[in-house]
Structure 1
Amino acid sequence: MITSNFAVKLNKVSFLKLKLWQTMRVIIDIRLTVSLLLLIALVSISGTLIEQEKSLEFYQKAYPDSPALFGFLTWNLILLLGLNHVYSTWWFLLLLALFSLSLILCTFTRQWSALKATNKWIFYKKPHQFQKLLLSSELKAKKIIPIINILKEKKYKIFQENNTIYARKGILGKIGPIVVHIGILITLCGAVLGSLTGFLEQKMVASGSEFKINSHLNLGPLSTLQSSRNWKVRVNRFWIDYNSKGSVDQFYSDLSIINDDDEELKKETIYVNKPLRYDGVTIYQTDWGISSAQIQIDNGNIFQLPMASLENNNQSKIWGTWIPLKNDLSKGISLIAKDLQGTMIIYDENGSLDSAVRIGMPLVINGVELKVHKLIGSTGFQIKADPGIPLVYTGFGLLMLGVIMSYISHSQIWILQTNHTCLIGGKTNRSQITFEKEIIGIIDSLECSE
């Protein structure tokens, strides 16, 4: 009875081992690995084409039910599949996990085994072993010592046993694929870490305002962002440089990092491609706008009116506001501006074009004197924290290094000296023509040494 139970348990263990091995063979199949890589690439492309982390209203407007983009892509489908935050969806992370597992198993079962086999000393002690080499030659009896000296000059590592020699070089070419796999895995880990623990925010801030980085964020599910972050950002000044044609050349934001006691911790002027970095957070300059206009009517007090971005068929940026001309708000005019240079357009209460006005220039309309003292700009920021960036850079560096190493040829040469002849042969994994020239050069050097 005990023997029977033991046999049953043994059969179960054998069955589990068999299933495990079969599963492993499927996972390390190069076809599965390539398929996963292509699928990850396609999903990543979709994340580039479909705007990420936008509001529900944005997707409803950009991807309506009718007409659907490409006949099927609607906002409902995008939200259902998580294509609005594709890089942090469970199914995309599962794809990365499967690809990483396949890569790890392939590295240990194939690349590492091949490297271990390469490190073994392999001596050819019988003449028929040279027949399987694509490149081999039979010479008259030669001495071993001149051959060793020639191989050393060509940077070969030499192993000798009696009358046979095994030489190799370019072992880095075998290590290269392993480094590539490690680089890919580290890059993927960095990307996953960033999507799970980082955060991203888009913000428009008026010049002269302050803001804290703790609200309305697209947080990763494991983000460590604390609402008690003890510093904030002040926009000291925002300005735009225009070129000779009147279009925007560059826009700038002068920022200060201040603590809760208004003490300045860091100050820096940022512009496109020159962000501010502080406490693991990077603030990029991405956009600009017009926040408000300072208006004066009939030499009264200066008051400030917010300006809103307006849609137009020309796709150019314009901002507008409504200026009341009476205290009861029964009459008013519209003010339109396209930049901060100071030229604005006035539309009357009927929506007809009335006149143009510049900053500081008084304008009489409907018996009322109007003066625009200042247009206040707003600056657009992308605020981002990504703890995975160092890993991504490290992994990408290893990936490039591994690719370069993989181009190094791994060459092997065998020599067997008998009483009457000297057999020499070799093989390489790439640069076959160069290797053939090297073997011919070795043979010529041996003949000249006689």
Structure 2
Amino acid sequence: MKNSKKYFEKIIVLLGSLRVSFVLLLLFCLVVAQRAIIAQKFIYLEDPPWFITALNAAGLDSPDLLAIPLYGLLVLLVVNLMLASITMTRRIRARSRNAAGVRDLETIQAMPISASFSVPLDGTALLTDFFKKKHLTLTREISGSECRLYGTKRTLGRWGVLLFHLTFLLILSGALLSVLTRYAGIFDLAIGETFLESRARYTSVTAPPILFSGDKKFQLRLDAIDLSYWKPGALKQNASSVSIFTEHGVPLGTHHLAINSPIRVDGVDIYQGSRTGFVAGLEAIDSVGTKALGRVKFFLPSRPEEPMISRVQFPGTNLVLDLELFTDMVGTIEGLEELGTQHKNKVSLLKVTVAGAHRIFYGVLFGGASLEVEGITLRFISLTPFTSFFAARDYGVPVIFGGFALLIFGLIITYFWVPEQYWGVIRQEENGERLVIGATTEKFKASFRERFEAEVHALQMKRDNQ
């Protein structure tokens, strides 16, 4: 039984050792480097550098090929730091127990930082007052003709190294939690439309997370768009007024959403997106009377001469149309008034062109009107401003920030909360009492020695003045 426990302790020490940490970190950096390099798509260079050629030759030409080793190394690093923290905690506690407690006179005299002098009387009161003025936690013991004292302060500083271990443990745990729970998606809304949070409703969304992959199903309605430009292409403000509802339509309040000023709904952060423009509602009717409704998005131009064009392909057909939007509504946006003056008719219309090897202009489609294009009747039924939103959920981010906060706390503890220990013995002699004082600290030992010698000198002066 004892042998098995001993082997178990050795395994814990080995897996939590610094050597294992370095090996795991090296492998982790190599895997991350592979993902980062390949993600930059340097593999498509005609003359790639040697390390890209080596990755291609090894078959590592996809960022996701080493996804499982990456997550495995992340788990092993977390385990390594947990075991290292356990080992470190045991060592600190053992060292604290060994260093604590009173010492005899000979042991104190053998310390690197110590002093000895005689007093006629009241040595115990003198030394006790000295320890108390230093705000030491005091322990006293009487043994025969000796009075032994032990004082300590700032013992929390011993745990500074452990806090660094816990910092990296917390950061890596947050990174692992982030990998397991994060997802992000983009969706667009026109004024008055409502988005129901589910993976199927996003315009673009990442792969489902490993943990907590269920839909939140809250509702977000776009009430107004607050958009302005300094000039075309130079955004001044992009914000929205939105209303939040539960899955069953219970109101949760209204919010003003702006870039870099997100809102959080049921653990999901909603950011104001950068895509803005108009969404045109179209109705298509084929020769047999089948109707289909669709939405076509037109993005605001970044330059005055840039047209607002969108391409549409009708489902089940080879018909592809290029639609160019002309509308005076763009002139109602602050900073884009000059674009609005280009549309003097104060109407909205679509210029319809059949795309292909030979482009064919079919005509102009006014708002509310119809246009027949190769057997399909196309109606322009609505035009509404729209904006985009970015949704992200990542439960690891607060944990990572907690790790950085712990790092700052650990730095403060390590460099400004240095532990100090003092020992003292008062021994009765024929002509009075003999005082022996010893001290130690873990850092800044040269300056601590100078301070100790100055304090002992002041204590001797106090004795001489009595």
* Correspondences of 1:198-213 after superposition (within 5 Å): 198-213=182-197
CA change 1:431–1:236 in 2 (3 A) is same
Distance 1:68 1:249 in 2: 42
Map 1:127-206 to 2 at 5 A. 127=106, 130-133=109-112, 135-141=113-119, 143-162=123-142, 163-206=147-190
Partner letter of residue 346 of structure 2? Answer: G
State whether structure 2 residue 113 is matched by structure 1 residue 124: no
1:400 aligns with 2:408: yes
Q: In structure 2, what is the equivalent of residue 247 of structure 1?
A: 234
Backbone CA RMSD of aligned residues: 4.6
**For residues 311 and 223 of structure 1, do their structure 2 counterparts lie closer, same or farther at Cα, with a shift above 3 Å needed?**
farther
Q: Secondary structure at the match of 1:81?
A: coil
What are the equivalent positions in structure 2 for 1:301-312 lying under 5 Å apart?
306-307=296-297
Post-superposition offset of 1:396: 3.8
Q: How does 1:370-449 map to 2 (within 5 A)?
A: 376-407=384-415, 408-418=417-427, 419=429, 421-449=434-462
Secondary structure of the residue aligned to 1:439 is helix
* Code of the aligned partner of 1:413: Y
Secondary structure of 2:110's partner?
Answer: helix
Letter in 1 for 2:77: F
Taking the aligned partners of 1:101 and 1:362, their CA distance within structure 2 comes to: 63
Quick check: 2:170–2:403 contact (8 Å CA) kept in 1? yes
2:274 corresponds to: 287
Rounded to whole Å, the distance in 1 between the matches of 2:321 and 2:81 is 71
Aligned to 2:84: 106
1:97 maps to: 75
**Mapped contact 1:359–1:372 kept (Cα < 8 A):** no
Report the number of matched residues.
396
Q: What is the aligned partner in structure 2 of residue 299 from structure 1?
A: none
Q: Partner letter of residue 283 of structure 1?
A: I
Displacement of 1:416: 3.1
Superimposed CA distance per residue, residues 255-281 of structure 1 (whole angstroms, 9 cap, x where no aligned partner)? 222356655433212011211222222
Percent sequence identity over matched residues? 21
> Which stretch shifts more, 69-78 or 122-131?
69-78
Which residue of 2 is the match for residue 273 of structure 1?
Answer: 260
Partners in 1 of 2:93 and 2:224 — Cα distance?
A: 60
Q: What is the CA–CA distance in structure 2 between the aligned matches of 1:97 and 1:245, rounded to whole Å?
A: 49
Where 1:380 maps in the other structure, the secondary structure is strand
Distance 2:184 2:310 in 1: 30
Report the Cα offset of residue 152 of structure 1. 0.8
Contact 1:40–1:96 under 8 Å retained in 2: yes
**Deviation of the 1:40 alpha carbon:** 4.7
* Maintained 8 Å contact 2:308/2:324: no
- In 2, Cα distance between equivalents of 1:103 and 1:362: 63
Q: Please give the TM-score of this superposition, normalised by the length of structure 1.
A: 0.70
Q: Distance in 1 between matches of 2:426 and 2:278?
A: 88
Given that 2:178 and 2:396 are in contact with CA atoms closer than 8 Å, whether structure 1 keeps it comes out as yes
For structure 1, list consecutive stretches of 5 or more residues without a partner in the other structure. 1-9, 52-58, 83-88, 296-302, 324-328, 346-354
Residues 369 and 393 (structure 1 numbering): CA distance in 2 closer, same or farther, change over 3 Å? closer
Paired amino acid for 1:382: F
Deviation at 1:141, TM superposition (A): 4.2
Q: Are positions 1:220 and 2:200 aligned together?
A: no
1:360–1:409 distance in 2 versus 1, CA, 3 Å: same
Supply the distance in 2 between the matched residues of 1:310 and 1:103 (Cα, whole angstroms).
51
- 1:349 corresponding residue in structure 2: none
The one-letter amino acid paired with 1:403 is L
When the two structures are superposed, what TM-score results if normalisation uses the length of structure 2?
0.68
Alpha-carbon contact 1:335-1:344 (below 8 Å) kept: no
Shift of residue 148 of structure 1? 1.4
SS in 2 for 1:219: coil
